[in-house]
Structure 1
């Protein structure tokens, strides 16, 4: 019995030490690439093992100071190594921190946090490896971009946690936490497209511009490229591809929102959204073949607003809260007709607000599944009509008629999928 216990204990020890060795070797492999680094493959592997041994000794002795002493020794050792042979090009800060992390990961492995330790070790190695790319990325960021990220941090990490998570008002439809969570979700999705446009530019072609721009703001993309056509008529076909792609992305965006917030609604919603997506992709593919190579076309700058700006977020939050309250009230007073009316009106300006409110009411059990699906479809179709009006009023009939045919395909596919769902 005692032998079995010792055998099992020995296997546990061996597993912990081998995993620590692997973590250290992983990080050391990356540091070994830098000739100026004072710590390489063996140093990182031994340091991770030292962290595990320090965890073992600390547990057996009942003293927490063993771990702290080991961490201090590793830090002082690396500081002394760089002080003895200073290098102006590599002050050693990164290697010192990385080695301390390797020691910490070794200790975590001993304390049964293997999965977290390995995940953090891999992420740390990725950060170390992509030093050049991260430097180039930081050089591309402007003051406006940094402000965008900070503002999103305020929206998601400062405001959201302090809001009460309970219903207020008529029908208990207004939950401050849930309302702001939708603001964070939409702002984050839009910020991803905004950041992609800023980082990768527009040199990768019209479909990619439409894809990223559709995530940022399909309405803004429609307006901007309509203006470009008015100023530069030879951008007509390019603008068609960009605008249609951005509006096809709206269908993908709505599908993602449903999948994240109310996945049980997705099977009923997908036929309608999928039908529009399918026909939209066919039209875009056909237009792209006609368009051919447009690399010689002048670059068209996009001046999209920051989607994480506090004022923008507050505006969307207010719109969403009002739409949510009106949708709940009209659904109760006037039934489905009242809900569809607010879907139609709201869809003319913002499809996200009514889509989120419908998903929210469905999740609260205050809206049947088919009515939630119908309201989202109506809002999307109304939004297409609104954007078509933008194209006609800004760019004129030359682009308007062509975009109208593309939007007609999107609408036909969406309605066709909706009809198929009800068969």
Structure 2
């Protein structure tokens, strides 16, 4: 077996670093040549050879005195001055702006100290990032045009709740009744918000014109119940019975995946117990959806029209987070009360009842809490909540959709409800 470490050890470190500097500088320079291929030479100060020489100059001046860095800093000042003069003349003569190429040149000059002082992965990541950012100019411009002020406010909200507020909370239980710590309480909000926010970003920016099926998939990451509500009502306007049925079932498929991800995040032991049953749920619901899509293809084989459904609701509204937090506390207290006074049987009944609400607060609560019940009972409670929620979505779908879509929804959700009830019985033996 070839040992690359031993092979590299045969060469002087300075030689290897010099080759890396020249190689990375040349790659950046070649990218600049391609980027400015249609520009006049007067508007650029250099490309492949110039950038490679910047890298070599940085290597020479750094290795002269790597401790004091005086030659390296002096060379940087001179290069910075020359680039400033070039930029001034570019504005005066060409009336054009933009400092991207100048910044890239300065980064190229700084490659040597980075290679000497930082791990290899960081240097490679830096070069790749520079190449990608320069090449994505038009893409980023179009992306920024599609954003409004609310998008940045939404991003700011997410960064605040995830990076500022979360670390401030203590990780000690709130009380004997509420065994969840403030940290885990807010972590639950962050986790659910992150999944919802990802769904929102995918729907709005990656798949802005997504069809019915993709709407179901992405919406299911956020809320399968809300997606079922939207699609069922939309069915009255569209002649896409089987496709809408498939999309609603796929939204529930994504609910299974979302809940399993939450289980992995908050209680891996429960996640391992739930893995087989959730695999069955996911496979069964996918098969049902694919069957309906096949029926749709047979029915509408000559119809090439594609429909798009607008459902880009913002998942990080303060009101939504507040409601989730209230429900989380309520379910923490309710679960603690039921567990203390009614034990295992009470938890089983409660898990069916919560299906008519947002089940995420209850499920995350039961994942994180320190209950005197077995993991099997916790897994059963999760299955019961999911089954109850599927029953609710079946009622929503049948009540809100047109008549021709009711039978597919009734059959699809009935299969999932039966699987849930049978799976729940299996957990009695845990």
TM-score tier, shorter chain, comes to 0.7 to 0.9
Q: Structure 1's 82 and 281: CA in aligned 2 closer, same or farther, altered over 3 A?
A: same
Equivalent in the alignment of 1:30: 31
- Whether contact under 8 Å (2:203, 2:210) holds in the other structure is no
Matched, 1:402 2:403: no
Equivalent in the alignment of 2:310: 301
Q: Structure 1's 18 and 233: CA in aligned 2 closer, same or farther, altered over 3 A?
A: closer
Shift of 1:379: 1.3
C-alpha separation in 2, matches of 1:18 and 1:155: 45
Kindly report structure 1 stretches of 4+ aligned residues shifted beyond 6 Å.
Answer: 7-10
Helix, strand or coil at the partner of 2:86: helix
TM, length-normalised to structure 1: 0.86
Q: Structure 1's 164 and 401: CA in aligned 2 closer, same or farther, altered over 3 A?
A: same
Helix, strand or coil at the partner of 1:296: coil
Equivalent in the alignment of 1:4: none
Give the number of equivalent residue pairs. 411
Shift of 1:408: 2.0
Q: Structure 1's 367 and 91: CA in aligned 2 closer, same or farther, altered over 3 A?
A: farther
C-alpha separation in 2, matches of 1:42 and 1:179: 56
Candidates 383, 393, 417, aligned match of 2:399 = 393
- Whether contact under 8 Å (2:384, 2:421) holds in the other structure is no
The Cα offsets for residues 182-239 of structure 1, whole Å up to 9 and x where unpaired, read as 2111111111111111124464433322111111322221111121123x15243332
Helix, strand or coil at the partner of 2:35: coil
The Cα offsets for residues 108-162 of structure 1, whole Å up to 9 and x where unpaired, read as 2211333222223212322222222222222222333333222222222232233
Candidates 273, 278, 291, aligned match of 2:278 = 273
Equivalent in the alignment of 2:154: 148
C-alpha separation in 1, matches of 2:168 and 2:86: 46
Equivalent in the alignment of 1:3: none
C-alpha separation in 2, matches of 1:119 and 1:345: 50
Alignment of structure 1 residues 306-385 onto 2, 5 Å = 306-361=314-369, 367-385=373-391
CA RMSD of aligned residues (A): 3.0
C-alpha separation in 1, matches of 2:325 and 2:177: 18
Gaps of 5+ in 2: 1-7
Matched, 1:81 2:86: yes
Q: Structure 1's 50 and 254: CA in aligned 2 closer, same or farther, altered over 3 A?
A: farther
Shift of 1:73: 3.6
Helix, strand or coil at the partner of 1:170: coil
Alignment of structure 1 residues 101-120 onto 2, 5 Å = 101-120=107-126
The Cα offsets for residues 160-197 of structure 1, whole Å up to 9 and x where unpaired, read as 23323332222562322221122111111111111111
C-alpha separation in 2, matches of 1:406 and 1:297: 23
Helix, strand or coil at the partner of 1:234: coil
Helix, strand or coil at the partner of 2:244: helix
Helix, strand or coil at the partner of 2:191: helix
C-alpha separation in 2, matches of 1:125 and 1:367: 55
Q: Structure 1's 114 and 380: CA in aligned 2 closer, same or farther, altered over 3 A?
A: same
Shift of 1:95: 1.4
TM, length-normalised to structure 2: 0.84
C-alpha separation in 2, matches of 1:420 and 1:344: 16
- Whether contact under 8 Å (2:28, 2:127) holds in the other structure is yes
- Whether contact under 8 Å (1:275, 1:414) holds in the other structure is no
C-alpha separation in 2, matches of 1:90 and 1:154: 38
Equivalent in the alignment of 2:48: 41
- Whether contact under 8 Å (2:347, 2:381) holds in the other structure is yes
Moved more, 188-197 or 364-373: 364-373
Shift of 1:47: 3.2
Shift of 1:81: 2.5
The Cα offsets for residues 299-323 of structure 1, whole Å up to 9 and x where unpaired, read as 3332x42111222122212222332
C-alpha separation in 1, matches of 2:60 and 2:374: 59
Q: Structure 1's 124 and 175: CA in aligned 2 closer, same or farther, altered over 3 A?
A: farther
C-alpha separation in 2, matches of 1:24 and 1:105: 8
